[in-house]
Amino acid sequence: MSLPAKQNHPRGLYILFFAELWERFSFYGMRALLTLYMVKELIYADEKAYGVYGAYGALVYTAPVLGGLIADKLLGHRKAIQLGAIIMAMGHFTMAFNTETTFYIALALLIIGNGFFKPNISSLLGKLYEEDDPRRDGGFTIFYMGINMGALLAPLACGTIGELYGWHYGFGLAGIGMLAGLLVFRLGEKRLGEKGLPPDDEKLKKSIGFGFNCHRLIILLSFLTVPLFAMLVNQNQMMSYILGFTGLVMLGSLFWNALQSGQVERERVFVILILTFFSMLFWSFFEQAGSSLTLFTDRNVDRNLLGWEIPASLFQSVNPAFIIFLAPLFSWLWISLSRVRREPSTPMKFVLGMVQLGLGFWVFVLGATFAGEDGIVPMFFLLAGYFLHTTGELCLSPVGLSMVTKLAPGQIVGFVMGTWFLSSAFAHHIAGIIAKLTSLPQNMETGASVSAAESLGNYSHVFGQIGLVAVGAGLVLWLLVPLLRKWMHGVH
């Protein structure tokens, strides 16, 4: 027996689900190999590898600010998604050329493409639901499960092929995944109806001279920025200044927009700003997964299973595997609690996410106490810590995306979504700084390898401090929950 229509999710959700699945396959396929590739193939010292990883992650989440704005004003969400997919595919295939120059060009293409793709597919999903639709959080959680299906498959496929058969094969496979995402989106676009079309199609196609219209000019300018982004990834300090300036301008603009709005819109934007800060803290710690936790796994975790040593990159599938298993349970949980009016508010879900993240890092520290003189930690503690990180993530990340689309003023939802992702840019930059703390002084200066026993102490100390700050931040936010619920004006 079929459910009433209102209980079924829009058909467009499943198109976006599979498009995002393949895009995330490509992204996480490259991410699984990135730090290991720099350390083992390009022979970067830990400090430089962490710096490049942090800069890349920061720029990946800075670019959506502009991508969201361009889509709101000119391209529309659909054209922006398709342009981003094409540019990202080019970036992945460029990574298949095993030189340092093409490495930075590829990272630049991935940054630019992600800027168009990432904010707009989430914004387009939000447009499929009415503001007060009780299915919204569940829909975003299902969407988030698609993200993590791609993230699960990517390290298993790209990581295994890259580490065992050649880095360029792993990166090339990630590019094929991106093309699959583009194909899914194009084939299913009809199910989106009128959602996500350009705000003014005639303006977009109007000639501006020299054979260019606005659409073609956007494409040209996108490729002209490749050298700039390549330089910023390599020059971390300059990127820091630009990121700081961009953050001040964008957050200042959002704050000014709030002051010019009525009380309800103003206070809802204040809620977004406050939760954005705590989201930034969360991802600063969570994103150790692609840097310090990857090398911790490679150097300090017993990866032997039935006589086979599991490649370190494959452990980046642990988090998405847990999400695929748990996301339907969380989606069902929020709906069930909503029916009996016991569902935690969005700020309270953030509290739960922060505390569980901190506890996960303390599990890593606990595992260090079980290490022998060789500095090798039992695999169980790595898996248990990732489990707590995952439950924390499910309380915060899909709920955060949904919160932005519910609370942001309708005319600037793409811009606000871009600002939300900008907090992740700061988070990745901070994550790179934190990761550097796990490198021993001699490793930071010379790049020489150190023993597992020597590195374990630094990992344990830094992870313990992260856990302390995460739990403390959760408690501070818990004190703010009553005020934030009031400012949300009935939006749960």
Render pLDDT for 368-386 as a digit per residue (tens, 0 to 9).
Answer: 999 888 889 999 999 999 9
- The torsion angles phi and psi of 43, rounded to 5 degrees, stand at 55, 45
Task: Quickly tell me which residue has 């930075």 as its tokens.
Answer: 104
CATH value at residue 29: 1.20.1250.20
- Indicate whether 413 belongs to any domain: yes
- Indicate whether 194 belongs to any domain: yes
Measured between its terminal Cα atoms, the distance across the chain in Å is 30
Taking a C-beta distance cutoff of 8 angstroms, is the pair 418, 249 a contact?
Answer: no
CA distances from 129 to 19, 79, 379 (A): 18, 20, 42
Higher pLDDT, 429 or 282: 282
Q: Which of 112, 67, 114, 68 is nearest to 223 (CA)?
A: 112
440 band by pLDDT with thresholds 50, 70 and 90 = low
Q: How many domains does the chain have?
A: 1
Contacts of residue 198, Cβ cutoff 8 Å, sequence gap at least 6? 74, 75, 76, 79, 204
- Tell me: the pLDDT tens digits for 220-240? 999 999 999 998 888 766 666
Q: What percent of the chain has pLDDT over 90?
A: 26
Q: Which amino acid is at 141?
A: T
- Indicate whether 52 belongs to any domain: yes
Looking at residues 165-188, what average pLDDT do you find?
87
Q: Give buried/exposed letters for 145-157 (b at 16+ CB in 10 A, else e).
A: bbbbbbbbbbbbb
Residue 453 has pLDDT above 80, yes or no: no
Integer Cα distance of 457 and 442 in angstroms: 14
152 band by pLDDT with thresholds 50, 70 and 90 = confident
Integer Cα distance of 419 and 64 in angstroms: 8
Domain that residue 414 falls in: 10-487
- Indicate whether 492 belongs to any domain: no
Taking a C-beta distance cutoff of 8 angstroms, is the pair 269, 408 a contact?
Answer: yes
Residue 354 has pLDDT above 50, yes or no: yes
Q: What percent of the chain has pLDDT over 70?
A: 91
- Indicate whether 135 belongs to any domain: yes
- Indicate whether 473 belongs to any domain: yes
Question: pLDDT at position 68, please?
Answer: 82
- Indicate whether 58 belongs to any domain: yes
108 band by pLDDT with thresholds 50, 70 and 90 = very high
Q: Say how many CA atoms lie within 13 Å of 225 toward its Cβ.
A: 21
Question: pLDDT at position 192, please?
Answer: 83
Question: pLDDT at position 73, please?
Answer: 84
449 band by pLDDT with thresholds 50, 70 and 90 = low
- Indicate whether 2 belongs to any domain: no
Integer Cα distance of 246 and 250 in angstroms: 6
Question: pLDDT at position 432, please?
Answer: 87
Out of 12-21, 135-144, 454-463, 483-492, which region has the weakest mean confidence (pLDDT)? Answer: 135-144
429 band by pLDDT with thresholds 50, 70 and 90 = confident
